[in-house]
Amino acid sequence: MSDQQDSSPSMDVLLRGFWKENPVFVMVLGTCPTLAVTNKVINCFAMGISVMFVLVMSGLLISLLRNFIPKQVRIASFILIIATFVTMVDYAIQSISLDLYDSLGAFIQLIVVNCIILGRAEAYASKNGPVKSMLDAVGMGLGFTFALLCLGVIREALGNGTLMMDTPFEISLFGPNFAPWSIMILPPGGFFVLGLELALFAWLRKRRARRTAAAAQA
Amino acid sequence: MTTEALQPATAQAAQQGSGESMRMMRTLGGIALLSGCLLSLVYQGTRERIALNFESRVRNAVFALLPGSTQQKTFEFTGVDETGKETPFKVYAGYDEAGNFIGTAMETSDGDGYGGEIRLLFGYLPDKDQVVGITLLLCKETPGLGDKIKTDDGFKSNFTPLDVPLNPDGSALAVPLSFVKSGKGGGPGQIEGISGATISSKAVFRALCRGTDMMLPVIRRRLAELKEGMT
C-alpha cells in the first residue's frame, strides 16, 4: 500500500482532498462547523484557513513523531497536538479581530474534535512522511475551505443580499429592494444548502463515472 | 487453572506492561511539555494585542455614545444592586478636547435574552438627566428577528434621548422605566418594544433598568469626582 502511495505523484496527494476525497462533500466529515459558520463568507475564509493551519501543523508534527508514539496512546497524543495548534489559532484570531472571533463563536475551539483533522492524523499523517502529510493536509484544508465557501456564498447572498459582509470588500448584490431570506442565515438554511450541494456533487461524480465507463467501453 | 500457574505469566506481563507504560508516559509527557512551551510563547506574543482589542472596542463604543467626547477616563464605583448586594461597576467618563466633562457610559447586562445573555453599554449625561443611546456589546439573539435590537431605528429612538430624572433626594429614578408594546409608548420613562422581538427588547429594557437603578444615584453623588477627572 505504501509503495503504491510512494509512486503516486505529489500533485495527486494535494488534489485528492480538494475533489476526489473532499472532506465535506465526499467523506461528509466536519459537518458541524460546516453548517454552523457558513452564514457569512468571511467566516468561511477564517474557518477554512484555521482548519488548514491546524491540519498542516498537526500533520507535520504527528508525521515526524509517528515512530515514537506508542499505539495505545496515539489518539491522546494526536488530540494533545491538535489542541495545541487550535489554541494558537484561537489566540491569533482574538488578536486580529474580536468581531470575527465573536461570529465564529465556539467553533474555533471545537476544531479540536473536528473529525477531519483527527481522521487525517490517524489515516494519513501517522503512516506517511512529513512532506506527503503536509501536502495531504494542504489538499484537505483547501477542500474544506472550498466546501465552506460553496455554502457560504449562497447563504450570504440569499440571506443578506451581500457578499463579504462585515469586511471592507462588501458587495451588495440585489439592490435596496431585496428582501433577505433570513432562513438562509439561520441554521435550517445551512441544512438546505448542504443537502442540495451534496446531491449536486454526487450527481456530478456519478455522471463523470458513467462517462469514463462509457469511454473505456468504446 | 490454579493460582500458581497464573502467577509467572502475570508477573511477566506486569514487567512488560511497566516498560510499555513508561514509554506511554514519556511520550505523553514529552508532547505535553512541547505543547505547554509553544502555547506559553503564543500567549505571550498575543496577550497585549488581545487586551488592546478588548479595550479599544469599549473605548470606541464610549466615544460613539457620548457626542463630542475625545478623551476618556475609567472610574470604579460601587452601588447596591436589586438584591441589596454591594456591586462594583465601571464608569467610562468622556471629556472634550479641553477636558470638560460630557457624560458617562456604563455597562449593564441581562441573562434572559432569547439567545442567552445580552450585554450593553449605555450613555448617560448627568447634566441633562438623559440616557443618550445604547450599544450592544454582546448579543446572541436570532438574526433577522431578535437582533433587531441592534439595528431597529424605532427601538433605538427610545434611547436617543430617554429622560431619566432622579427624585429630589437623588436616591432613585423619579419615574421608573416601564416597558410598553410597540406604538403604545410616548409617556415618560416608557420604552417601546419591537413587535416580533419582544423577548429581546424586554431583555434590553431589564438590563437598562438594572443599570440605571443602581448606577445613576451613585453617579449623582460622585459627580464632582467625575467632573474633576481630567484636571
pLDDT of amino acid A87: 92
Contacts of B39 in chain A (CB under 8 A): 84, 87-88
Half-sphere exposure at residue A75, Cβ-oriented, CA atoms within 13 angstroms: 4
Closest-CA residue in chain B for A102?
A: B138
Say yes or no: B49 and B139 in one domain: no
Examine the fold and report which residue of B29, B49, B65 is the final residue of a domain before the chain moves on.
B65
Please tell me whether residue A2 adopts helix, strand or coil conformation: helix
| Tens digit of each residue's pLDDT (9 = 90 or more) over A97-117 | 888 888 787 788 888 888 889
B14: confidence class by pLDDT, cuts 50, 70, 90: low
* Strands A171-172, A162-163: pairing kind: antiparallel
Test A98 with B49 for CB contact under 8 angstroms: no
Is the ipTM above a cut-off of 0.95?
A: no
Provide the strand spans (E) within chain A.
162-163, 171-172
In one-letter notation, the amino acid at residue B9 is A
Say yes or no: B88 and B174 in one domain: yes
| Tens digit of each residue's pLDDT (9 = 90 or more) over A31-51 | 888 888 888 898 899 999 999
Tell me the residue range of the domain where B21 lies.
1-65
| Tens digit of each residue's pLDDT (9 = 90 or more) over B98-157 | 888 999 999 999 999 888 889 999 999 998 888 999 998 888 787 778 888 888 888 988
Q: With a cut of 70, say whether residue B195 has pLDDT above it.
A: yes
Tell me the three cell numbers of residue B70: 475625545
Residue B61 sits at the vertex; the CA angle it makes with B60 and B64, to the nearest 5 degrees, is 85
Test B28 with A77 for CB contact under 8 angstroms: yes
- Helices marked H in B66-145: none
Q: CA B231 to CA B211: how far, in whole Å?
A: 28
Tell me which of A99 and B231 has the higher pLDDT. Answer: A99
- Write a three-state SS string for A25-38: CCCCCCHHHHHHHC
Tell me which of B26 and B8 has the higher pLDDT. Answer: B26
Please tell me whether residue B90 adopts helix, strand or coil conformation: strand
DSSP B125-155: ETTTTEEEEEEEEE--PPTTTTTHHHH-HHH
Say yes or no: B25 and B89 in one domain: no
Average predicted confidence (pLDDT) for chain A: 86
Say yes or no: B25 and B115 in one domain: no
Say yes or no: B50 and B61 in one domain: yes
Q: With a cut of 60, say whether residue B8 has pLDDT above it.
A: no
The domain segmentation of chain A, as residue ranges, is 13-211
Q: Which of A91, A92, A185 lies closest to B144 in CB terms?
A: A185
Test A88 with B39 for CB contact under 8 angstroms: yes
pLDDT of amino acid B79: 87
Q: CA B190 to CA B179: how far, in whole Å?
A: 6
Tell me the three cell numbers of residue B89: 461597576
| Tens digit of each residue's pLDDT (9 = 90 or more) over B38-84 | 999 999 999 999 989 888 888 888 999 998 888 888 899 998 888 88
Contacts of B18 in chain A (CB under 8 A): none
Say yes or no: B96 and B122 in one domain: yes
pLDDT > 70 in chain B, percent: 91
Examine the fold and report which residue of B31, B49, B65 is the final residue of a domain before the chain moves on.
B65
Cβ-based interface (< 8 Å): residues of B facing A:
20, 23-24, 27-28, 31-32, 34-35, 38-39, 42-43, 45-46, 49-50, 53-54, 57, 138, 142-145
Cβ-based interface (< 8 Å): residues of A facing B:
39, 65, 68-70, 72-73, 76-77, 80-81, 83-84, 87-88, 91-92, 94-95, 97-98, 102, 180, 182, 185-186
Tell me the three cell numbers of residue B117: 445573555
| Tens digit of each residue's pLDDT (9 = 90 or more) over A122-181 | 998 989 889 989 999 999 999 999 999 999 999 999 888 888 887 778 888 777 788 888
- For residues B150 and B136, the answer to whether their CB atoms sit within 8 Å is yes
Test A84 with B35 for CB contact under 8 angstroms: yes
H or E element at residue B96: none
Tell me the three cell numbers of residue A148: 465552506
DSSP state, B173? Answer: B
Q: CA B194 to CA B153: how far, in whole Å?
A: 10
Say yes or no: B184 and B140 in one domain: yes
Q: How many domains does chain B have?
A: 2
Q: CA B191 to CA B169: how far, in whole Å?
A: 25
- For residues A190 and A151, the answer to whether their CB atoms sit within 8 Å is yes
- For residues A54 and A89, the answer to whether their CB atoms sit within 8 Å is yes
Say yes or no: B217 and B118 in one domain: yes
